Amino acid sequence: MWTVNENTFDPSSQHHKETIFTIGNGYLSTRGAFEESYPGERRATFVHGVFDDVPVAVTELANAPDWLPLNIFLNGEKFSLVTGALHSFERSLDLRTGILTRRVRWTSPSGHTATLTFERFASLADQHLLCIRCLVLPEFDGQVEFRAALNGNTDNGGIVHWRWLGQGLHTLPNGEKAAHLLTRTRKSGLDLAMAMQLVTDSPLPVEFWDAESIPTLRLNLEARAGQPVSVTKMVGVASSRDTAEPVARALECVAVSSGWDQALEAQQQAWSQEWERSDVIIEGDDEAQLAVRFSLFQLLIAAPRHDNRVNIGAKALSGFGYHGHAFWDTEIFMLPLFTFTAPHIARNLLDYRYLMLDAARAKARQAGYQGAWFAWESADTGEEVTPVWVPDSRGKKRLVRVWTGDLAIHISADIAYAVYQYWRVTGDDDWMAGQGAELILETARFFASRAEWDASQEAYVYRDVIGPDEYHDRVNNNAYTNRLAQWDLTAAIQVAGWLRQNHPQKALALFDKLGLDDGQFAHWQSVADRIRLHVRPDGLIEQFDNFFSLVGVNLADYEPRNRSMQEVFGVEAANDYQVLKQPDVLVMQYLLRNEYSEEAIRANYDYYTPRTDHSHGSSLGPSFQALVACMVNKPEEAYEHFILAARADLRDVRGNAGDGVHAASAGGVWQAVVFGFCGLQVDETGWTVRPRLPRHWKRVTFRFFHRGQQQVVSVPDK
């Protein structure tokens, strides 16, 4: 189960298919649009960190110049699925190697037939290299023409980010010709260069069309029926984020490549190493098997291997949704995969937060707080890029205020949690001393300053926040937020002690820089001790103040439905009901699972599960719902939620996969298998498993690194 396939061409699922046939290499990803284009496509390539701002929109990943164009002309007639007759269509993505293949047999309007095979990949061995090969098997005698272009005229749903800077033709050291295109983002001023070469066996010359912003290489070959002809388009890409000379770098990339076969071999080798680190084998459930590998693939192609100034957006690099912004989705949902299977990638992602510390400090300071308050949505600078107002679907004169950027303070604790988990699992003391400790201390400082003393309750409270359940905004004392804040304060005190003991010089310098002393730590402890948490004697935790007084709802009464309960009630009114967008208390209990008994978890599971909009609420919900179901020993119920998450992209169960993959759900799928069904528990000294597999699963084999040593685990034990 390594391939995602389709055997028919259905334009109505175009955007969904573009998403799931995305290829990438951790430097960029390219959606599965066709080389020759198709009407209505959402064609896109996103390069990590290449953000741009425009006056009318938020900062977003700029849809990069398009490297895909490779048009085929059969006796002068342009190949297109819009015209002519399509006899067969197959597309498959090989997850094991990252190669996307499409095979089409087509007859042109005037009757020339050929089978066309397109293959493409973004090299994992050299992240600046992209390759397309097209093989044409004509069933006629005549001409087959290839036109390969780099197209600088791309946009993000109507927003144009690029300005043409220049282009040209070059002779490579080996005597071949290559063309380049250089563009610059309009506001952020980043330069992006692409270079291309058309590799062919033919002795015929490649013609160059120097048309502005779309340099084109053209090759016209003699076609004989039954004799295949092929070209390979090798593309190099580099930006001013990588090098001072992007054009030279892009050209060098195609110059040193020795064609398709060699690049393919390197690709296969690089991917084999990836899977060696991270593969999960599920025996007895082909759908789950493919879905888990697909989830891993999506995260692996979005994971920065050579850059610690970028993060992974909510849609990874696979679509326009959420503009490439990073959320808590990274730390809570995606990062564990990397922490456990690819710590070097986890470190890059955590480094990103470290590099954004000053922006987080500025955000806290501007709001009157201390420490580091990270942006709810984060892009290149770490400034808050959550949109403040969005248009209301009900009319142009109405705008809806988006509060998460102002109130979803739990993001700072989520980051601290991920830092601590990384440290605990990897034992990377150097990084903890150098970067991690500062992240934990600064976020704790924020929570200490954000807490308000409420004399009537004799407790520290966090008023006017939004927790993970975003159906309820502007609430007081969200349990997730308060409990994670408490955890952060406590962890900070512990880390401070560790640092003082093991790296006294660093501790001194850091405490001095941050203005920390024992008085501060004592105050933190005092805040942590008195943070308000409403826990009933039976262990049930109130999600926020007065949640128990809201209107109860029997969700079954609203079935069947195809929209969220927030849409059913309206954004404002949804606040009044006991309906959750995603489990809120349960996620907290999962994160702090060592601190809760199974009974305490079960009390909350039983209460909140029927009150959660599993099908149309947050896509983050089902995987974690499955995790918690495993924790309360309900693997079959867990599987129902798990499979909902597993199908989010492959089956487009939410109807929005066209906007990009559900990256948090993908990370949650891996966690559900490893921490849920297999029950992996890790601490400084070792690990245990506690399998609770669904009945039809025969065996699960997964891999992870514990303190630098790879562990390969099968459950049930072989």
Q: Active-site positions? A: 470
CA pair distance 165, 181, nearest whole angstrom? 8
The token duo for 687 is 């690990």
Q: How far is the CB of 620 from a copy of itself (least distance, A)?
A: 26
* Residues of this chain, 652-711, that bind a copy of itself according to CB under 8 A: none
Candidate residues 391, 497, 504, 655; the one interacting with a copy of itself per rule CB under 8 A: 391
Q: How far is the CB of 397 from a copy of itself (least distance, A)?
A: 5
Q: Choose between 263 and 409: whose C-beta lies nearer to a copy of itself.
A: 409
Residue 483: alpha-carbon gap to chain centroid? 26
Using CB under 8 A as the binding rule, whether residue 155 contacts a copy of itself is answered as yes
Q: How far is the CB of 39 from a copy of itself (least distance, A)?
A: 9
Stretch that binds a copy of itself, among 383-391, 516-524, 540-548, 676-684 (CB under 8 A): 383-391
Q: Decide: 502 and 525 in contact? Cβ < 8 Å.
A: no
Q: How far is the CB of 236 from a copy of itself (least distance, A)?
A: 20
What separation in angstroms does the CA of 554 have from each of 182, 432, 559?
Answer: 58, 47, 10
Q: Decide: 22 and 30 in contact? Cβ < 8 Å.
A: yes
State the amino acid at position 340 in one-letter form: F
Q: Choose between 83 and 273: whose C-beta lies nearer to a copy of itself.
A: 83
Q: In sequence order, which residues have a C-beta less than 8 Å from that of residue 301 and are 6 or more positions away?
A: 22, 23, 24, 25, 26, 29, 98, 122, 316, 317
CA pair distance 129, 127, nearest whole angstrom? 6
Using CB under 8 A as the binding rule, whether residue 394 contacts a copy of itself is answered as no
Residue 613: alpha-carbon gap to chain centroid? 23
The token duo for 89 is 């269509």
Q: Choose between 393 and 501: whose C-beta lies nearer to a copy of itself.
A: 393
Tell me the per-residue interface mask from 337 to 376 with a copy of itself, x by CB under 8 A, - otherwise: ----------------------------------------
Interface with a copy of itself (CB under 8 A), residue total 30
Instruction: Return phi, psi of residue 616, to 5°.
Output: -130, 10
- What percent of the residues of the chain are helix, what percent strand, and what percent coil, each to the nearest 5? 40, 25, 35
Residue that has been written with the tokens 């514990």 in this structure: 706
Q: How far is the CB of 159 from a copy of itself (least distance, A)?
A: 6
Tell me the per-residue interface mask from 51 to 70 with a copy of itself, x by CB under 8 A, - otherwise: ---xxxx-----------x-
* Residues of this chain, 111-150, that bind a copy of itself according to CB under 8 A: 147, 149
CA pair distance 244, 237, nearest whole angstrom? 13
Candidate residues 86, 388, 508, 509; the one interacting with a copy of itself per rule CB under 8 A: 388
CA pair distance 129, 150, nearest whole angstrom? 14
Stretch that binds a copy of itself, among 152-160, 574-582, 656-664, 690-698 (CB under 8 A): 152-160
The token duo for 138 is 């004509």
Tell me the per-residue interface mask from 283 to 322 with a copy of itself, x by CB under 8 A, - otherwise: ----------------------------------------
Q: How far is the CB of 50 from a copy of itself (least distance, A)?
A: 16
Q: Choose between 23 and 214: whose C-beta lies nearer to a copy of itself.
A: 214
Stretch that binds a copy of itself, among 385-393, 510-518, 588-596, 602-610 (CB under 8 A): 385-393
Residue 433: alpha-carbon gap to chain centroid? 28
CB half-sphere exposure, 398, CA atoms < 13 A: 6
Q: How far is the CB of 191 from a copy of itself (least distance, A)?
A: 14
Residue 247: alpha-carbon gap to chain centroid? 28
Q: Decide: 627 and 671 in contact? Cβ < 8 Å.
A: yes
Using CB under 8 A as the binding rule, whether residue 158 contacts a copy of itself is answered as yes
Give the residue ranges of DSSP H helices in 576-620.
Answer: 585-591, 598-608
Candidate residues 83, 88, 153, 258; the one interacting with a copy of itself per rule CB under 8 A: 153
Q: How far is the CB of 214 from a copy of itself (least distance, A)?
A: 5
Q: Choose between 69 and 691: whose C-beta lies nearer to a copy of itself.
A: 69
Tell me the per-residue interface mask from 184 to 223 with a copy of itself, x by CB under 8 A, - otherwise: --x----------------------xxxxxxxx-------
Candidate residues 7, 12, 203, 397; the one interacting with a copy of itself per rule CB under 8 A: 397
Stretch that binds a copy of itself, among 89-97, 151-159, 502-510, 699-707 (CB under 8 A): 151-159
Tell me the per-residue interface mask from 68 to 97 with a copy of itself, x by CB under 8 A, - otherwise: -x----------------------------
Q: Which stretches of 38-159 are assigned E, i.e. beta strand?
A: 45-52, 60-63, 70-74, 77-78, 85-94, 99-107, 113-122, 129-138, 142-149
Q: How far is the CB of 186 from a copy of itself (least distance, A)?
A: 7
DSSP track, 160-227: --EEEEEEEEEE-TTS-EEEEEEEEETTT--EEEEEEEEE-S--SPPEEE--TT--EEEEEEEEBTTB
Q: How far is the CB of 33 from a copy of itself (least distance, A)?
A: 14
Residues that bind a copy of itself (CB under 8 A): 54-57, 69, 147, 149, 151, 153, 155, 157-161, 186, 209-216, 388-389, 391, 396-397, 399
